[in-house]
Structure 1
Amino acid sequence: MRKSFILIVLFIGIVSTTYGQEGFAVRAGFNNVSISVDTGGFFGDVSDSELGFYVGGGYNFEVCETFDIEPSLLFSFVDDLTSLYLPIMGKYRITDQFNVQAGPQINYLLEDLPDGEFGLDIAFGGGYQIDDNWFVEARYGFQISRAGDFGDAVDINTLTVGAGYRFN
């Protein structure tokens, strides 16, 4: 819990110092976290899925007319599995409103777990720019590795669906 409080204070500090800069966005929405555990054939695979929500922010860097890079910091709150996500998404604009997104996503479990706190995902999805400020987006993150002794046996995948506001 103490780690969570420190990270939330850090995030609020980042948001307050970058507020109003071109390309900064805040976002929130729902997420579905799926956990699958490989028991080594003992009982077959065990899996569970839980709904929660996320909140965070990011900064959009325009690389060229049709391509952006947007790193974000997201806090995910799901029953018994609070996490911090750092997606670095490449966004290709198909039109002025629609984009497709893909990139790596680092995740860190904020719960007091003895092992496997860090993970690396590949995330992909899409977004729709409603107007100059408001947008909606959806992404799915597939875990490709997890640190620790049990990292190969546990897969954590995440679906996020939400909305955001971009400060221009």
Structure 2
Amino acid sequence: MKKLGVIVLFCLCASFSVTAQEGFAVKAGINNVSAKVDLGAFGGNVTNGELGFYVGGGYNFELDDTWAIEPSALLSIVSDLTSLYIPVMAKYEVAESFTIQAGPQINYLLEDVPDGAFGLDLAIGGGYQIDDNWFVEARYGFEISRGGDFGDSVDYNTLTIGAGYRFN
């Protein structure tokens, strides 16, 4: 029930933002979440990846002709793992319409886990502006911290590839 409430709140906030802000973008795509478990004294690591999808929105703040900041909120559904990602990407235009991106990304597991729902990633990637409205982007998030008892033994890394439409 708690998960449903968060999803409804997320959708409501996104729909209000569409009509209220210039530069808002809606985006969707596929993602791959890989979980790496450190077996500690048993030796070695176990890695498993799952393919899913994400939907969400963001707002692009242009700082000048080459720099921009874009915070986003993305709802990710991968198998039985539902998460909310909040990347805040600094974007630098290296060529016409092509940007490289980097920044922190908060990830919050919406599943009922006893501990360790909150994580922090470092995300890097790139994007291409197809025309005034449509764009594509890809990013990889490396987990750098996860709270809770299993925070040191489990890493969640995320690859996202998607497209979006920016309202100008």
Interval of TM-score (by shorter of Structure 1 and Structure 2): over 0.9
Output the amino acid matched with 1:108.
Y
Q: Which residue of 2 aligns with 1:19?
A: 18
Alpha-carbon distance, 1:4 to partner: 2.4
Hey, what's the Cα distance between the residues in 1 that align with 2:17 and 2:32? 29
Task: Determine helix, strand or coil for the equivalent of 1:100.
Answer: strand
Task: Determine helix, strand or coil for the equivalent of 2:40.
Answer: coil
Q: Which residue of 2 aligns with 1:35?
A: 35
Output the amino acid matched with 2:13.
I
| Identical-pair percentage | 69
Shift in CA distance, 14/96, structure 1 to aligned 2, threshold 3 Å: farther
* CA RMSD, 1 decimal: 1.0
Question: Is 1:57 paired with 2:57?
Answer: yes
Alpha-carbon distance, 1:22 to partner: 1.4
Alpha-carbon distance, 1:32 to partner: 0.4
Q: Which residue of 1 aligns with 2:8?
A: 9
Q: Which residue of 1 aligns with 2:119?
A: 119
TM-score by length of 1: 0.96
Question: Is 1:70 paired with 2:70?
Answer: yes
Report how many aligned residue pairs link the two structures. 167
Q: Which residue of 1 aligns with 2:99?
A: 99
Hey, what's the Cα distance between the residues in 2 that align with 1:151 and 1:15? 30
Task: Determine helix, strand or coil for the equivalent of 2:96.
Answer: coil
Large movers: runs of 4+ above 6 Å: none
Task: Determine helix, strand or coil for the equivalent of 2:6.
Answer: helix
Hey, what's the Cα distance between the residues in 2 that align with 1:89 and 1:34? 21
Task: Determine helix, strand or coil for the equivalent of 2:9.
Answer: helix
Hey, what's the Cα distance between the residues in 1 that align with 2:95 and 2:166? 18
For structure 1, list consecutive stretches of 5 or more residues without a partner in the other structure.
none
Q: Which residue of 2 aligns with 1:159?
A: 159
Hey, what's the Cα distance between the residues in 2 that align with 1:3 and 1:90? 32
TM-score by length of 2: 0.96
Hey, what's the Cα distance between the residues in 1 that align with 2:9 and 2:51? 25
- CA distances 1:31-88 after superposition (whole Å, capped 9, x unpaired): 0000000010315211100100000001111111110000000011001211100000
Hey, what's the Cα distance between the residues in 1 that align with 2:121 and 2:82? 16
